[in-house]
Each structure stands twice: as C-alpha cells, then as structure tokens.
A and B are shown apart, each in its own frame.
Chain A
Amino acid sequence: MTNAAATHDESRPPVLAPGATYASVTEKISGLVLSRTTPRWWILAFAVAFLALQVFLVATAYLVTTGTGIWGIRIPIGWGWAIINFVWWIGIGHAGTLISAILLLFRQDWRTSINRFAEAMTLFAVSCAGVFPILHMGRPWLAYWFAPYPNSMSLWPQFRSPLIWDVFAVTTYATVSALFWYIGLIPDLATLRDRALGRATRLIFGVMALGWRGSAKHWHRYETAYLLLAGLATPLVVSVHTVVSFDFAVSIIPGWHTTIFPPYFVAGAIYAGFAMVITLMVPLRRLLKLEDLITVRHLQNMAKVMLATGLVVVYGYAMEAFMAWYSGNEYEGFMLWNRMTGPYAPYYWTLLFCNAGVPQLLWLAKVRASPWLLFGVAMFVNWGMWLERYIIVVTSLHRDYLPSAWGMYSGTLWDVATFVGTLGIFGVAMLLFVRVLPMISIFEVRTLVRKPPSTHRVQGG
C-alpha cells in the first residue's frame, strides 16, 4: 500500500518543478524585487490601474460633495451597487485567509507558493470592500459613529443590527490579516535586506525586518506566533461572510430571509476568492516566469477547491428554490418567479450559467490542468458572483410585499465609475506589491526544495 501510494504521488505533478535549489529559489524571488529594471508590461499595467485610481478619486470627490443621489439608489432599492460591490470584494478576500490559515493547519504544503500573494490580495480586497459601506453612508466623515465610544450626544450603536457586527467583523478581519501577512513577511524582508545593493533599499528593508537575524530563538518565536495567528484567522474565514449574510438574512424580505444564507455565503466567498486568485495568478506566473514555483499542481488544487465550493453555492440556489416552492409561501414563491421571469431574469439566468454551469467543466482533469482554460472559467465565476449579489440585492428589494411600493433599479455612470475606481485601487496595490515585496514566501518555499513530492496523500486519487 505504501508503495502504491508512493507511485501514485509520483503520477501527480510536483509542487515545485524539479531542479529547484535553495539558491535558485532565493535568487528567483528576491530578484523580482531587487532588479533595477522594471518590465514594460508592469509599467503599462500600472498606468492603466493608476488611471482607474484617478477615476475613483473623481467619483468619490463628486459623491462626497453632492450626495449618494448620484448613484442609482432610490427607494425601494436603497442598497444598489455599493453593497453589491462590498459583498463582492469582501468575498474575494476569503481565499487568502483560507489559503494562509486553514491550509496551514491542514498541513497542505503546496500552499507555500501562493499564500503570500493570496494574503496580499485579501488585504487589498478588504480595503476596497471597506470603501463602499462608508461612502454609502452619505456622510462618510461620520463613520466613526459606528464605534461604541462615550460621547455627549447619547449616541450608541444598535448592537442588535448585523450592520454593526459587520463593522467589528471587517475591522477584526483586516487587522488580523494585516498582522498575519506582515509577520509572515519578516524573514523574507531580512533576506532582501541582506541581498539589497543600494543603501536606501537596505535601510528600508532593514527597518521593516525588525532586526531579524534568523537565530533559533527568532525562528522559535516566529513559528509560535505564526501558528497562533493561523488559529486566530481560521474562524475569521467563516465569521466575516456569515455576518455579511446576516445583513440580509435577519431581515424579513423574501429572498433575503432564509436560513441557508450563512454557509452559502461563506462558500460563495471562497469560491469567488479562488476564482480571483486564479485570475491573477495565471497571467502573473507567465509574465514573471514563475512557472517553476507556481506549478500546474497549484492551479489544479485551486480548481478543485473552486469546484467544491461552487457546488455548495449551487446547493444553496437549489435549496432556496425548492423551499420557495415547498413552503407554499406566496411571497417566497413570487420572489423566485420574479427572479426567473421578471425584469431581471436575464441577470438571473446569466448568473446560473456563470456559477452553476460553466464551472462544471472543472470536473474534467484536462480543464484543471490547463492554465488558460482555468483562467476562462475563473473569469466566468468572477462575473457570476458579482451578478449573484446583484440578484440578491436588487430583485428582493425591488418587488417585496406591497406592489404599490415596487420600483426598478439600475446603476448610473457614477456607480460604474466607483466600481472601476476600486478595481484601480486593487490593481495599483497589487502591482506595487509584486514589484517591491517578495510575492512568494522565499523561506517557506525553500522548505519544499529537494523533498520528495508530497506524501500527504496516502490513498485515493
């Protein structure tokens, strides 16, 4: 059996391409940062992202000076694109935390090539997400009223509202993610400090490395801190999107108020997150020539996680639809009927096609092993998950209990501009990250070098 397992493992692509050595790994990853020449594609991509960032500044300035009326939100649809984007962005972040924390606890060593990158993605996605609810308040400068602090206005948050839980959930998430990411970076920052040629570079990395010398004591403390943070981050994978789902589910709007929402939202978040990691990873590994470190094995594994979480999401759709019918509840039934045949029906069917249809291709091993096919599927999921939130937010609100209060919704140019703007924030941050920090954990990947292919899988295929 042991032999069988060993042969079986060899039949799978290795985590690292053969031939990697300690020196080659360090050279490769730190070279990306310390190189003095910036690739042309990077400058081009940065220019585009930077332009989008300017769009964000313009859109936000106009919004703050004029009011949320410039967006398409009007009663009965008070939430609109802002909340759709919020849920979309925050969902994307979840893949990073899952990869860095849960896969660490599960001893999945393949995660080491992608965790740093995915964590960075989490941080930037959470920043983009945080923008929307704050802007959506209309008076973003009063956002601090959400905090429970003693004041002379008898102002106190409503702790029964999940919107308040959101504030705590998201800020905790951002804090722990940032800490986790930074602590994981420290040994690599020291490597960069030691390898940097310029004085200024050495100084900057030196300050950021917090005096790391790689002594046994340092490593011991590092390992303990990292494991503890992984333990702390694990519940956050579930809690944040659960609270986001409560934003909807604790209300009594048909299509929002349903008990499957928490697990279904969490699965959807991980689904969207992995889709985004694949979307970014496939072109980047090609452009930065990192195919030896981020191998087909990584893409395959991510595709499998995507398939599994995608099926949970489909299960959520199925349960919602079944109960709408089974309950015999007039409003639930109408909600479903309205989604399938109402004015937003094309969105609904597109979402099903993107989220439930196309990803079934991932059952095929060939698709999982082909980076660009995978990229295509991931793009469908990115789009599908955005549409899913659109359907949830808009169709439930636009026709609820009272037909006299029905209305229609569509986003305006400024909605689009704000969204494109956050894509700009994300793009700029991501590009700067791959240029100035090691996007793959050097010291963790070194632990994989010269080891036989993973022996975690002892049985099965």
Chain B
Amino acid sequence: MTAALPVAARLQRLSRTSHVVGLAVLALAGVGAYVANQQFLRSYLVAFLFWLGLGLGSLALLMLHHLVGGRWGKATAPILAAAARTLPLLALLFVPIAVGLRQLYVWATPIVPETHHAPVHHEVYLSPAGFLTRAALYFVVWIALAALVTRLGAAVAATGDLRRARWLARVSAAGLALYVLSMSFAAFDWGMSLDPQWYSTIYGLLFIVGQGLSGLALVIVALYLLAGEAAFELADRFHDLGNLLMAFVMLWAYISFSQLIIIWSGNLPEEIPWYLHRFNHGWEVVGLILVVLHFAVPFSVLLARRIKRRGRRLAAVALFVLLMRQVDLYWIIAPVFQADAVRLHWLDPALMCGLGGLWLAVFSRALARTWSVPPPRGGNAGRHRPR
C-alpha cells in the first residue's frame, strides 16, 4: 500500500496542474471566441471530438473487457473506468457546440444559400431541435452506461460476487450494442452533417474504430506512467496491449481505405466531393501523412516484439498514435470549412490543450481514487501460461 500513495499523490498533483493549465488556456481561447467566433467553434469541434473519443473509446473497451475477459483488461480496467468517468464533463463541454449550432452547421443557418437544396428528410432529421434532443439522448445513454459499468465493475472487483459479475457481462453486451448505435448517429450528427449533402454508411464505424484506438493508446501511455519501475515486469501485458493496438491500427486503415476505394470507384457527384476537398489544396499532404504515419509506420513498428514488450517504447508509439488521431479528426472535419487551403489557426492547438487540461484533470482525479491497488504484476506472474 505504501507504493500506492505516491502514485495517488502524483495523480492528484497532475489533476490540479492540468486543471489550472486547462482553465488558463481556455480563458485565452475565450478571447479567440470573441475575435474569431466561427474559427473558435470549428477548432472546438475537432478538439471536442478527440477528447470525446478518449472517454467513449475507454468506455467501449471496458465493456468489451467485461464481456470477453482477457488479461489485457484486468491490468487496465481501473484506467479505462477512470476515463469513462469523464463523460459527464464531456457532456458539459458539448454546450458550446449546442450554443454555436447555427454558426457551425450549414443546415442550421436560418438563411440557406441558393446552392443548397435540402432534401425534405433533412427538415425532419437535421433540425436544431432534433439535433439537440438526440445529443441529449446520446449523453444520457453514455453517462448512464459509464456509471453502471464502472460501479458494477468496482463491486465485482471488490467482492468477487458471481451473480453481479454475470450481470456486468450482460450489461456490457447490451451496452456495447447501444454504444455502437448511438455513436454512429452521433458521428452522423456532429461530423457527417457538416456537409449535409454527403453521406457514407461506414462513417459511424470510422469514428467508433478511431475511438477504440484512442482509448487503447491512452491506456498504454497511462499504464506505463503509473507502473513506474514496475513497467518492466508488465512486459506480457504490454505485449498484449501492443498487439491490440496494432489490430486497431489495421482496423482503422481498413475502414478508411474501404470508404475511399468505394467512393473513388463510384465517382458519383453526391459522394466524390468529400474526397475532392481532401485531395486538393494541400489537404492531400495531410492525407498522405495519415497513410504513412497513422498506418504504415505504427503498423511496421508494432510488428516488432522488442517494441511491444517494452512499456517505454510502446508508450511512445501510443502517444504518437494519439497525435495522429488528432490529425485524422482534423482531416475529416476541417476541410469542410476551409477547402481552399490547410490553415492551422492558433485556436486549433489552444483548444486541444484547453479541453485536454480539463479532461486530464477529471481523469486523473478519478484515477487517483481507484488506483489504490498497485499494478497487477505479482498475481499474474504466477498465473502466466506459456503461449
């Protein structure tokens, strides 16, 4: 238990620091909201989607673990649970998007440009009232799921109650289905509807897989930092997590490439503009960066056992993947607003940091409360089975 104290204290300190830094940066960005209102919202959306991905991806992985088990999840469940507990904060952080709806989404602007012929269905689906009601519904579902799964999980871990463990598995199974469905529609609402003419049936999965990847990368970085000197003894866990990370990197590439090749081959006027915007005016460079640095490099690096078994190296790869997640979301969202050139505004990094500060503060505080158990190294070494 003595070893647990410094970790909790460190986490508390991190929580306080990131809280202060986050608020300070957000205050600065608040100035930006006056000076460049639209840009503020656009940068905000990307930052929000990234941090939402960490919270939701962790919740999904936690439910997956409670459903299928696996040693990778046992070591990381407290981290995943702490990240899932950030969802109430994320609901709060959604407010600026709800308020700035009309500046952000074309379909919500009162004066529809001449060129925009909204299909009849959009009047039903893409209306501010519908959008906000659905957003509220998503957050209710996610927060309820997070509360239920983390509480049940903690109870099961503490008591080993079999009946509740079975309940947890059942809740997780239903929860995963609910998450996939709600997140798909959230992706349609918050991302896809930025260009209301465009649609892609795989778009929801693109976000879901991205969130899973983000959650996994987060867990690897956090586990490495928390384990400290014990990271060396967790080589088997890091190996498992590294394999999972590689699987998610491949899945992300698979989903992204599938969408690209199908839309490219069809070359239909209602679909292809999405890629035309992202293949011109410098955006193709960002796209290439994604191909190389979001897929090829992490994939090749993660093939090596030497990387996966060393916490430090794996955490470095995971951190890099988290950076690439931001680039990916930027590439998906930003060209809608500025198809003519890639212009990184100072608000882009500022809001990413600002929201991140608040998110980290809540995350590390939640983790400080639950991380009283030292990392499960002793217990596993004896139970290790070959292959």
The residues of A with any CB-CB pair to B shorter than 8 Å are: 1-5, 7-8, 11, 107, 238, 242, 246, 249-252, 257-263, 311, 315-316, 318-320, 323, 325-329, 363, 455-461
Contact = CB atoms under 8 A, between A and B. Distances in A.
B157 A257 contact: no
Which residue, of A316, A457, A459, has the highest number of chain B Cβ atoms within 10 A? A459
Contacts of B205: 260, 263
Given A4-B162, A259-B201, A457 B270 contact: no
Contact of B268 (A242, A257, A460): A257
B74 A458 contact: yes
A246 B263 CA distance: 11
Contacts of B120: 328
Given A242-B258, A327-B270, 12 more contacts: A4-B160, A4-B162, A249-B265, A315-B184, A319-B184, A323-B201, A326-B122, A326-B125, A363-B173, A455-B383, A456-B69, A456-B71
Contact of B201 (A238, A250, A252, A260): A260
B65 A263 contact: no
Which residue, of A3, A260, A329, has the highest number of chain B Cβ atoms within 10 A? A260
Given A259-B201, A311-B177, A319-B201, A250 B162 contact: no
B266 A257 contact: yes
Nearest to B205: A263
Interface stretch (B52-60, B163-171, B276-284): B163-171
A308 to B, nearest CB: 9
A1 B125 CA distance: 48
Nearest to A316: B201
A327 B261 contact: no
22 contacts: A1-B379, A7-B162, A8-B162, A107-B387, A246-B262, A250-B262, A251-B265, A252-B267, A257-B262, A257-B266, A260-B201, A315-B180, A319-B184, A326-B125, A328-B119, A455-B385, A456-B69, A458-B69, A459-B65, A460-B68, A460-B168, A460-B169
Which residue, of B125, B161, B167, B201, has the highest number of chain A Cβ atoms within 10 A? B201
Contact of A249 (B160, B204, B262): B262
B71 A259 contact: no
Nearest to B157: A1
Contacts of B172: 460
A235 to B, nearest CB: 8
A259 B181 contact: no
Nearest to A457: B69
- The interface residues of chain B, by DSSP majority, are classed as helix
Contacts of B99: none
B66 A460 contact: yes
A329 B66 CA distance: 41
B177 A259 contact: no
What are the 4 closest A-B residue pairs judged by CB atoms, nearest first? Answer: A328-B119, A4-B160, A260-B201, A457-B69
B345 interface: no
B387 A460 contact: no
A1 B77 CA distance: 13
Given A257-B266, A325-B121, A460-B66, A319 B204 contact: yes
A250 B265 contact: yes
A1 B160 contact: yes
Contacts of A8: 160, 162, 165
A11 B162 contact: yes
B157 A259 contact: no
B73 interface: yes
B262 A261 contact: yes
Which residue, of A4, A246, A311, A326, has the highest number of chain B Cβ atoms within 10 A? A326
Given A315-B181, A327-B270, A460-B168, A262 B201 contact: no
B253 to A, nearest CB: 11
Contacts of B222: none
Contacts of A319: 184, 201-202, 204
A245 B166 CA distance: 37
B263 A259 contact: yes
Given A8-B165, A315-B180, A320-B201, A459 B73 contact: yes
B251 to A, nearest CB: 9
Given A311-B177, A328-B122, A458-B69, A250 B160 contact: no
Given A2-B379, A460-B69, A329 B181 contact: no
Contacts of B266: 250-252, 257
Contact of B199 (A242, A246, A323, A457): A323
A263 B69 contact: no
B71 A458 contact: yes
Nearest to A245: B258
B70 interface: yes
Contacts of B320: none
A6 to B, nearest CB: 10
Nearest to B373: A1
Contacts of A459: 65-66, 69, 73-74, 77, 156-157, 165
Contacts of B165: 4, 8, 459-461
A309 to B, nearest CB: 13
B169 A259 contact: no
Contacts of A107: 387
B188 A326 contact: yes
A262 B169 contact: no
Interface in B29-71: 65-71
A461 B66 CA distance: 7
Contacts of A263: 202, 205, 254-255, 258
